[in-house]
């Protein structure tokens, strides 16, 4: 079969969505120089940083077939809140003649245990731009794309870090429950805004620690989206949020910061304690926001959580994590806000 294809290591193409150059593993999302600092307060967070969440490669080809072969660190291909297409899958998009991105294919379930598989076969001929999103959760060690021999190929280099939107948040940002990797709302927003994205969503581990603000502050980006509230409680918000934001602002005096509230739990109409918890979290975060505004912090923005994933409750399978329909609603709520902020700066 190798006689039919030419193979390209994705490192040679150029991986977008990595904020730092020093890494313990090729597709780590946090820098090696911060390992000791991170492990001092949350060793599990360092483990989650090995996921290639949000990373992608972009290239041009006229090949009518695109294949993947890869090596993962672990045999586990999914977990309870990530199916195999998102947890371990590669996700292929193509750019249309109108300049929009359209989905083409993802790792098929029937090939999920194979180390090599097709992403697209017998496509309509044409020289076009493609983007492949890397797996949301599995630790990737190596990956190559295979194109038909004789086809044209041109790598497109990652866009500058300065243009990136940095998302810091919970498993919702990480992409839990979406059906394929490119469908997480940070990646969708990146495509719509034509911006590179750095996805620092960490399932269950986003708690606005000061050390994380110091690490995030190393990134010279265009916008920070801070979406950690679902992993926190009122006490943690009071303890961490203000100092986190002050630390981040000290490191990046001009970079806009958007605070995002957590959405309502979809089943809180029968669980009033869940509704109370959400409201208490929101109340504490709003207090922090108003205090910082009163103290003169500029370029700080706020997005309320009411209706963020809709109001009909038809958007989650566990009450917390949005399914694809819920992600669509988050995307539609955040897109105009992010666009307005970026246009002002």
Q: pLDDT value at position 114? A: 85
Q: Which residues pair with 273 in a beta bridge?
A: none
Q: Determine the pLDDT at residue 1.
A: 54
pLDDT tens digit sequence for 151-162 = 999 999 999 999
CB 68 within 8 A of CB 116: yes
pLDDT tens string 306-334:
999 988 988 888 989 999 999 999 999 99
pLDDT reported for residue 65: 97
The string of DSSP letters for 82-125 reads B-HHHHS--EEEEE-TTS-EEEEEE--GGGTTSSEEEEE-SPPP
The neighbour count for residue 77, using CB atoms within 10 Å, is 20
The pLDDT-based confidence of 75 (bands split at 50, 70, 90) is confident
The reported pLDDT for the residue numbered 63 is: 98
**Which pLDDT belongs to residue 118?**
93
Judged by average pLDDT, the poorest of 76-80, 132-136, 201-205, 248-252 is 76-80
| Band of residue 264 on the pLDDT scale cut at 50, 70, 90 | very high
pLDDT over 90 (residue 345):
no
> For the residues 33-37, what does the mean pLDDT come to?
96
Question: Cα(165)–Cα(338) distance, rounded to whole angstroms?
Answer: 9
Q: Using DSSP, how many helices (H) and how many strands (E) does the chain show?
A: 11, 14
The pLDDT value given to residue 3 = 73
pTM (two decimals) = 0.96
Q: At 67, phi and psi to the nearest 5?
A: -120, 165
Over 60: is that where the pLDDT of 340 sits? yes
pLDDT of residue 79: 83
103-117, 119-133, 239-253, 292-306: range with lowest mean pLDDT: 103-117
> Which pair of tokens denotes residue 11?
């490192």
Query: Which pLDDT band, with edges at 50, 70 and 90, does 80 fall under?
Result: confident
Contact criterion met (CB below 8 Å) for 241 and 288: yes
CA angle, corner 219, sides to 218 and 220, nearest 5?
115
pLDDT, average across residues 169-196: 96
Nearest to 87 by CA among 78, 100, 95: 78
Alpha-helical (H) ranges within the chain are 10-13, 35-41, 43-48, 84-87, 171-174, 185-193, 210-216, 234-236, 242-251, 272-294, 324-344
Where do the domains of the chain lie, and which CATH numbers do they carry?
2-17+54-156 (2.60.120.260), 161-344 (3.40.50.1110)
The answer for residues whose C-beta is within 8 angstroms of residue 179's C-beta and 6 or more apart is 83, 85, 86, 324
Distance from C-alpha of 210 to C-alpha of 132, rounded to nearest angstrom: 34
- In contact, 327 and 178? CB cutoff 8 Å: yes
Mean pLDDT rounded to a whole number for the chain: 95
* 175 pLDDT tier (thresholds 50, 70, 90): very high
What does the pLDDT read at residue 125? Answer: 96
Q: How confident is the model at residue 2 (pLDDT cuts 50, 70, 90)?
A: low
SS3 sequence of 119-141: EECCCCCCCEEEEEECCCCCCEE
At residue 110, does pLDDT exceed 80? no
Confidence of residue 31 (pLDDT cuts 50, 70, 90): very high
């Amino acid at each position: 079969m190798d006689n039919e294809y030419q193979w390209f290591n994705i490192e040679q193409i150029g991986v977008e969505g990595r904020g730092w150059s020093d890494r313990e593993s090729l597709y780590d999302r946090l820098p090696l120089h911060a390992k000791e600092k991170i492990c001092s307060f949350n060793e599990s967070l360092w483990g989650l940083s090995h996921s290639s969440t949000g990373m992608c490669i972009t290239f041009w080809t006229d090949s009518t077939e695109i294949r993947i072969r890869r090596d993962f660190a672990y045999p586990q291909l999914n977990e309870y809140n990530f199916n195999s297409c998102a947890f371990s899958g590669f996700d292929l998009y193509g750019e249309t003649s109108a300049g929009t991105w359209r989905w083409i294919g993802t790792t098929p379930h029937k090939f999920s245990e194979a180390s090599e598989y097709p992403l697209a076969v017998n496509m309509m001929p044409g020289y076009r731009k493609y983007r492949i999103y890397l797996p949301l959760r599995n630790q990737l060690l190596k990956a190559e794309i295979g194109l038909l021999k004789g086809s044209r190929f041109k790598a497109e280099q990652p866009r500058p870090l300065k243009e990136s939107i940095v998302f810091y948040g919970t498993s919702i940002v990480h992409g839990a429950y979406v059906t394929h990797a490119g469908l997480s709302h940070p990646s969708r927003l990146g495509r719509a805004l034509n911006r590179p994205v750095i996805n620092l969503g960490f399932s269950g581990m986003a708690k606005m620690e000061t050390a994380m603000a110091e690490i995030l502050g190393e990134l010279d980006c265009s916008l920070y989206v801070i979406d950690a509230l679902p992993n926190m409680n009122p006490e943690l918000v009071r303890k961490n949020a203000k100092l986190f934001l002050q630390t981040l602002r000290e490191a990046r005096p001009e970079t806009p910061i958007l605070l995002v509230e957590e959405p309502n739990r979809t089943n809180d109409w029968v669980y009033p304690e869940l509704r109370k918890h959400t409201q208490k979290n929101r109340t504490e975060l709003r207090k922090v926001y108003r205090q910082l505004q009163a103290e003169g912090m500029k370029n700080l923005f706020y997005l309320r959580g009411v209706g963020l994933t809709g109001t009909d409750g038809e958007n989650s399978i566990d009450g917390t994590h949005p399914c694809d329909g819920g992600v669509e609603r988050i995307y539609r709520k955040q897109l105009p806000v992010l666009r307005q902020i970026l246009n002002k700066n």
